[in-house]
Each structure stands twice: as structure tokens, then as C-alpha cells.
Amino acid sequence: MVKISHYSFTLKLVVILFFLFGNIFAQDKIASKLLEKERDEILITELDNPKKAIIRLQELETKASKIGDQHFVVNCEVLKATVYYMHANYPKTLEYGNKALKEARARKFYDIQAIAMGVIAMQYAKVGLKDEALKLGKEAMDLAESKNDVSYIEAQHKVSSYYIEILNQCDYLKYTPLILALSKKCLSTAEKLQNKRYIRIGLENLSMGYTYNRQFENAKKVNKRLLDNYIGTSDRTDMLLYENAGNTYCNAKQLDSAIYYINKALHLAQKLDLKEDRLSFLNELKITYEKAGDSSNARKMEEEYRSLLEYQNVKKTNALQSSFKNVVDESRVQEEKKTVFFKKMAFIGFAVIFLLLCLYYIYYTKFKKQKLNVEAQQKIIKEKKEKIQKLQSVLENNALDEIIQYAVEDNPVFLTRYKEAYPDFFEKLNALSSELTMDDLKCCAMLHLNFSTKEIASYTNVSIRTIENRKFRIRKKLGLQDSQKDLGDFLINL
């Protein structure tokens, strides 16, 4: 009763521990979901204020660290890089992008690694490093799409959007068909995720893709859907929607509508202090006014554009230097990794060759001894074959079947008949030990017939435990207590 109570207490303790750990795990998952919800809220409402967005992301990162959600922590780093990119703070974009990339590689978070590569590639494209941007952006796409896991759909959506931005910055006229194909793919992944913000981004990309491919009616339909459903989300979102609509109408030669929407986008860029976007909108307005024959407003836009351009050129030059240095540093790191890899491979190669030489030497020195062992084994095999032939001759006379039947029936004549059939066997047993009892001899005979322990116990009407004990005593009497060889195999080969 004491033992049963002890087992019952242990079982209850295990159940309680499982419940506690399961409860902790469930609470951590709930906490992670709440953090994701708060993160999405930041990305929707706080992007107009980068400082506030960064502070809130840092707070989320601290919370995630406390519950051990390292994936979320690294994701916050790459989101900081994205926020800085949106506000043209290129040094910070590189700083946090590289930090996230390093952490993601170390922890094998391939989805975040792909996203970080995409952000850095956009930065390269923005400052004019087009070849490096296209190369890194393609690598990010390949990495995101190399995993078929559902959790990678978000990464695939983001990296597709980033690659569209890279193609747009590098040479949108050259890549217009690819931009449209990627835009449709981007929208498809967004709809799979059922994420309203991602669907908006997908629609923005699709509008741009249709415009570049001169499918203006399709572009207008997409823009109408965007303006109807997403205006008022945030100032930055509104600015992007107005920019998209302005580009579509400008390319479609509906210049009044184009001027209206680009002016609205310019107003929001001034409000948000987004100088890079202001430059772009001023240039677009200048071109549009020129097309419309409004030279006065075109000159006004050009003057404002030139006054802002000088400041931005200094900033862009510094960003270009930082980006170029980052490319060089990354190339150096990759070369160092290759060098270390080749050194390791060379060391492993030499170690393998040395090991093979040692094995060959051991084999060569033991060859003669092994040859003698083989000859001895062949002799034993020959003797066994002779024994088998003798056994076969006994089988032909039906003697063995009769003996087996006696054994199964536990007939007293079994041992007598067995001695008659196998006199050599008992002579060898007696030569090995004279202390074997009749029960021992009977057990040896049944083992010689290749009966299992269970069968012997069943046929002799005793317990398996009794047979096991008897086999142990027989091994001891035969001097086999220190041998690893099975008693049955020993007796069969005797």
C-alpha cells in the first residue's frame, strides 16, 4: 500500500508540473500575440512620427525579451530600420538593418534575414548603388521563397514589396513587366494573410504596375478602391495614395487631376517633414505644369525644388558613402568567411588523410593474424558442416522428430533417446562438467534442439524464472559465467 501511494503521489506531481509548464507556455503565446497586435497598431498609427514609433518599438522589444520571444525582438530591429528608411534617415537604416541581419543570421531566423536584406537593398537603390541593390534584393527574394512554411508568407509579401521599390528606383521602364507581375503576387500574398495594411500596400504596388504598363483604366480602378477604403488611415498613408493617383493621371494625360493629387501629396510631405518625398513631388509637379502649359507654376516648383535639392544632395552623398562602406564591409566579411571555410576544409582533409594512413598501417600489421583467424574459422565451419550433415541424416531417419515429440510431451524417455541419438554431445558435456544433474542435462538437450526458454518452461511445466535460474547454474558449471556467448548457441555448436 505504501508503494502504491508513492506512485500515486509521483503521478500527481508530474501532472501538476505538466499543467504548470503548459500554462506558462500558453501565457507566453498569448503575450506574443498581444505584442504582435500592438506592433501592427504602431505600423498603422505611429509612422507619421518616427521618434514615437521607435520609442514604442523599443518598449515592445523589452517586453518580448522578458518572455524570451527572440524572434519578435529581432523583428523589432528590422522594423526600426524600415521606419528610418521611410523617413530618409539612411545611416540609421543601415545601422538597424545590419544589426537585424546579423542577429537573424546567428539565430537562423531566415524570414527576418530576408526582410533585413530587402531593407538594406532599398537603401542601396535609394543612394544609387543599383547593381548592389538588385543583387541583394534578388537574394532576399530567393531566401524568402526558399521556405514553403506558412509563417514565411509575411516575409515573402514584404520582400516582394521591397523588390518592387528597388526596381522602381533602379530603372522602372526596363522592369515594367516584372513590376506588374510582382505587384499581383504581392497582393495575392497579402490577401492570404488577410491583413488590411498589406492589402493596401499590394494595391498601391498594383496601381503602379498598371500605370507603368499603360493600363490606365485598371490603374484608376485600383486607385479608386484605395481612396475609398484607406484615406484617413494616417497622413503618410494618405500621401502615398495621393502620389499613386497623381502618377496614374499624369501618365494618362489627365493633368488637372494629376496636379490636384500631387499637390495634396506635397502638402502632406511638408507636414510630415519628408524632404526626400517633397523633392520627388516638386519635380513631378514641375513636369506636370510644363505639360499643362502653366510655366509660372512650373518655375515656382523648380525654384523650390532647387533650394531643397542642395541640402538633400549633401545628405545623399553622406548616405552613399555609408552605403558603399557597408557594401565593402559585407564583401570583406564574406571573403573572411570563405577563407575560414577553406582553412577548415583543408584541415579536415589532412586529418582524413592522416586517419586513413593510420588505418592502413593497422590493417597491414594485423593482416597475417587475421589470415590465421580466417583459416581457423574456416576449419570450424567445416566441422559445423559435418555436424549438420550428421543431423540431417538423423532427420532422414525420423529420429529427430520422435525426440522432439518426446520433449514436447515431457516424456521420461526423452533424455534416454537423446543420449542414443547424440552420444558425443553428452560425452562433451560430461567432459566439461561432472556436476550436471539430470534436469540440467535435460535442459541442455532441449537447448541443443534450439528450444527457447519459454518453450522449455511450457513443456516441462515450470516457470520461465526457474528455467532462467537453471541456465545460469549450467553456465556456471560449464565455466561460462564470464562469457558473453549465449548458452543455447554454445550448446548447439558443441
CA distance linking residue 464 with residue 473, whole number of Å: 14
Q: How many residues does the chain have?
A: 494
> Would you say 46 and 52 are in contact if contact means Cβ atoms under 8 Å apart?
yes
CA distance linking residue 216 with residue 226, whole number of Å: 15
**DSSP secondary structure letters along 218-233:** HHHHHHHHHHHHHTTS
Give 112-122 pLDDT, tens digit per residue: 999 999 999 99
Give 160-178 pLDDT, tens digit per residue: 999 999 998 888 888 989 9
> Would you say 87 and 53 are in contact if contact means Cβ atoms under 8 Å apart?
no
Q: What is the pLDDT of residue 322?
A: 63
Give 192-251 pLDDT, tens digit per residue: 888 888 888 889 888 989 998 999 999 999 999 999 999 988 888 899 899 989 999 999
Give 343-375 pLDDT, tens digit per residue: 888 888 888 888 888 887 887 788 777 777 777
Query: Could you give the angle at which helices 235-251 and 216-230 cross, rounded to 10 degrees?
Result: 160
Q: What is the pLDDT of residue 1?
A: 41
CA distance linking residue 441 with residue 429, whole number of Å: 8
Q: What is the pLDDT of residue 7?
A: 44
CA angle, 124 then 267 then 159, to 5°: 30
Query: Left if phi > 0, otherwise alpha if psi is -120 to 50, otherwise beta: which for 462?
Result: beta
Q: What is the pLDDT of residue 312?
A: 63
Q: What is the pLDDT of residue 138?
A: 93
Domain with CATH 1.25.40.10 in the chain: 22-266
Question: Nearest 10 degrees: CA dihedral of 21, 22, 28, 34?
Answer: -160
CA distance linking residue 117 with residue 130, whole number of Å: 14
Q: Who contacts 463 (Cβ-Cβ below 8 Å, separation ≥6)?
A: 457
The closest alpha carbon to 421, from 440, 438, 396, 451, belongs to 396
CA distance linking residue 478 with residue 223, whole number of Å: 96
CA distance linking residue 58 with residue 239, whole number of Å: 26
> Would you say 164 and 182 are in contact if contact means Cβ atoms under 8 Å apart?
yes
| 479 phi and psi angles, rounded to 5 deg | 75, 30
CA distance linking residue 418 with residue 428, whole number of Å: 14
> Would you say 51 and 66 are in contact if contact means Cβ atoms under 8 Å apart?
no
Q: Cell 544609387 belongs to which residue?
A: 128
Q: Cell 533585413 belongs to which residue?
A: 116
**Which fold, 22-266?**
1.25.40
* Buried-state track 289-316, b at ≥16 Cβ within 10 A, e below 16: bbebebeebbeebbebbeeebeebeebb
Copy the grid coordinates of residue 240.
Answer: 502615398
Digitized pLDDT (tens) for each residue of the chain, 494 residues in all: 444 444 454 544 444 444 443 443 344 456 666 677 777 777 666 666 788 888 888 888 888 888 888 998 999 998 899 888 888 888 888 888 899 999 999 999 999 999 999 999 998 888 888 899 999 999 999 998 887 777 788 888 899 999 999 998 888 888 989 998 989 988 888 888 888 888 888 898 889 899 989 999 999 999 999 999 999 888 888 998 999 899 999 999 999 999 999 999 999 988 888 888 888 899 999 999 998 999 999 999 988 888 887 766 665 566 556 665 666 666 677 777 777 777 888 888 888 888 888 887 887 788 777 777 777 778 877 776 777 677 666 555 667 888 888 888 888 888 888 888 888 888 888 888 888 888 888 899 889 888 989 998 988 888 999 989 998 898 888 888 777 788 888 888 87
